Amino acid sequence: EPEVTQTPSHQVTQMGQEVILRCVPISNHLYFYWYRQILGQKVEFLVSFYNNEISEKSEIFDDQFSVERPDGSNFTLKIRSTKLEDSAMYFCASSGDRLNEKLFFGSGTQLSVL
């Protein structure tokens, strides 16, 4: 079965540094998402992306966050200046249908901000 691929699996960074989390969605999918999960807490929606623009974002997704689909295959999440509270597992997801009925999730990137 096709899968969503995320790299790296673990990322350690210093507070204030920029990080880019990378995702390769399933090739014919058109809808892309980032979610995150702080250890022991709920999964939280960050942003959805379709047709090269953000279609919805949460309060968490402030101006320190950005997303990009630079080359038609990768989908990236950038955090410009990381904070300690950005430490979490970040999940990328994609969907191929207009109604977004079934989301396929990657295995996540564990971000640790020191």
For residue 91, the SS3 value is strand
- 91 lies in the binding site for another protein (CB under 8 A): yes
Sign of CA dihedral 36, 19, 57, 106: negative
- 60 lies in the binding site for another protein (CB under 8 A): no
CB of 14 to another protein, least distance (A): 24
Q: Give all strands of the β-sheet with 65-68 in edge-to-edge order.
A: 5-7, 19-24, 75-79, 65-68
The span of 14-22, 67-75, 80-88, 91-99 binding another protein (CB under 8 A) equals: 91-99
Which residue ranges make up the site for another protein (CB under 8 A)?
4, 33, 35, 42-45, 48, 55-56, 58, 91, 93, 99-108
